[in-house]
């Protein structure tokens, strides 16, 4: 009898213990859940990802452009580009594996592959090992991929998302890598070294079409490709059909040019919304204008970048919980500054630049005249090269909180992948 009571007591305390333990477990699970929902962390990459790279676009390129836009509105500094209104602002360091001041291929590789490499190298590390681009990783996870540039398709920045080469200047070798990427949509002005350095190789159009890509030069060929159900497209400007696109200058026929906004819309239409996607868009001639210290062409190219960003922002408004937009740069070029001479207003300088623009020669001046114009406009340029300044990172949308603060350009890949 006593034994039975003892057994009952043991059983009772066992059941009480079990209930208490279960309650404790539930409480722990609840606390963990509460913790993760409070931290607001998104554990996987956004469904729709836009990465914009203003080549050479430092914080001052943005400031000079906004000052110009404010001047046009008769204001002082209130006009904003779309992306400077993004809620998250970070700063990325840009040095390469072998230099304090990076080049576009090393910086593109750092952003795309998450590893530093030497200046001039592309998609490989200094030891020569092949690196994996974020676009490739996302492609393997079922994302559709769009890689676009305002400059040649095989130039350093777009190439950092599909190419692997000891030299960024092996343009033809870089073009040969496009088919292996399997990316759905590539775009640019055209191809550098269209038929190889000596011009004796198969033209880039024939080369890529023999590997299953449809290469379109201009709107008409693009429409034709869409009607024919093309699944892999390289879209270029009509002006560079059958010939090598120049580096360091964008000279396309204004009548036939597919502008940045239109290029982005075409890419979005092509990729659709059913599958997740990753889009990289580069405005390459910001860097070229800055190398030449040409203020107005630099401003115009920052505005072109903004035109493409605005299309992404409209998309974001329709899918705010599933879209991430990042706008950054690979490095700063020219060391530009918005200046003034003691008591003189910078707007006086803008007046001078404005009249030069009306006269139609602001983008087409020789170096001496260009310097005189910059001097009178109080726009200071400190170099014709790149600088080692960190670059701003603007972000909005799903997972954008990861882009706050100071980090390295090699961290951007992991931040997008939520790793």
Judged by the rule CB under 5 A, the positions of this chain that interact with Zn ion are: 287
Rounded CA-CA distance 77/74 in Å is 10
Which residue's Cβ lies closest to Zn ion? Answer: 287
Work out how close the CB of 419 gets to Zn ion at its nearest, in angstroms, rounded to a whole number: 30
**Cβ closer to Zn ion: 221 or 287?**
287
State the DSSP code for 244. B
Q: Strands of 303-342 (E only): list them.
A: 323-328, 332-333, 337-338
**Cβ closer to Zn ion: 284 or 397?**
284
Q: Give the sign of the dihedral formed by CA 118, CA 122, CA 125, CA 128.
A: negative
**Cβ closer to Zn ion: 193 or 287?**
287
**What DSSP string runs through 169-214?**
T-HHHHHTTHHHH--SEEE-S-BTTBTBTTS-SPPHHHHHHTTTPE
**Cβ closer to Zn ion: 170 or 287?**
287
**Cβ closer to Zn ion: 9 or 384?**
384
Reading the block at residue 410, the tokens are 């090699």
Work out how close the CB of 291 gets to Zn ion at its nearest, in angstroms, rounded to a whole number: 6
Query: Tokens 């088919």 map to which residue?
Result: 179
Work out how close the CB of 301 gets to Zn ion at its nearest, in angstroms, rounded to a whole number: 13
**Cβ closer to Zn ion: 386 or 413?**
386
Residue 93's φ and ψ, nearest 5 degrees, are -75, 150
Biggest distance spanned by C-alpha atoms of the chain: 112
Query: Tokens 């030497």 map to which residue?
Result: 118
Work out how close the CB of 150 gets to Zn ion at its nearest, in angstroms, rounded to a whole number: 14
Reading the block at residue 193, the tokens are 């070294």
């Amino acid at each position: 009898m006593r034994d039975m009571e003892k057994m009952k007591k043991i059983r009772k305390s066992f059941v009480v213990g079990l209930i208490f333990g279960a309650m404790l477990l539930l409480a722990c699970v609840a606390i963990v859940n509460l913790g993760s929902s409070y931290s607001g962390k998104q554990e996987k990459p956004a469904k729709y990802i836009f990465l914009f790279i203003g080549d050479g676009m430092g914080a001052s390129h943005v400031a000079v452009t906004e000052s110009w836009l404010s001047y046009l509105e008769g204001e002082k500094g209130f006009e904003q580009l779309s992306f400077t209104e993004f809620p998250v602002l970070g700063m990325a360091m840009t040095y390469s594996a072998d230099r304090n001041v990076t080049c576009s291929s090393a910086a593109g590789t750092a952003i795309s592959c998450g590893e530093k490499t030497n200046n001039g190298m592309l998609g490989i590390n200094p030891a020569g090992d092949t690196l994996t681009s974020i676009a490739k990783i996302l492609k393997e996870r079922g994302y559709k991929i769009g890689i676009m540039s305002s400059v040649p398709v095989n130039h350093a920045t777009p190439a950092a998302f599909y190419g692997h080469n000891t030299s960024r200047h092996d343009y033809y070798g870089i073009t040969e890598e496009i088919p292996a990427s399997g990316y759905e949509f590539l775009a640019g002005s055209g191809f550098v070294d269209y038929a190889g350095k000596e011009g004796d190789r198969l033209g880039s159009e024939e080369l890529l079409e023999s590997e299953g890509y449809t290469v379109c030069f201009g709107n008409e060929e693009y429409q034709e490709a869409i009607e024919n159900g093309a699944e892999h497209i390289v879209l270029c400007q009509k002006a560079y059909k059958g010939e090598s696109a120049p580096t360091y200058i964008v000279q396309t026929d204004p009548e036939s040019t597919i502008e940045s906004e239109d290029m982005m819309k075409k890419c979005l239409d092509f990729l659709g919304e059913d599958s997740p996607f990753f889009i990289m868009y580069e405005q390459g001639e910001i860097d070229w204008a800055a190398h030449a210290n040409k203020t107005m062409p630099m401003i115009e190219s920052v505005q072109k970048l903004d035109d493409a960003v605005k299309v992404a922002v409209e998309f974001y408004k329709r899918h705010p919980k599933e879209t991430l937009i990042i706008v950054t740069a690979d490095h700063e070029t020219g060391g530009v500054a918005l200046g003034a001479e003691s008591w003189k207003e910078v707007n006086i300088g803008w007046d001078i630049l404005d009249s030069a623009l009306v006269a139609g020669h602001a983008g087409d001046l020789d170096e001496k005249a260009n310097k005189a114009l910059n001097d009178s406009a109080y726009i200071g340029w400190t170099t014709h090269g790149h600088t080692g300044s960190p670059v701003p990172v603007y972000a909005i949308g799903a997972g954008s909180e990861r882009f706050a603060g100071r980090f390295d350009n090699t961290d951007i890949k992991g931040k997008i992948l939520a790793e």
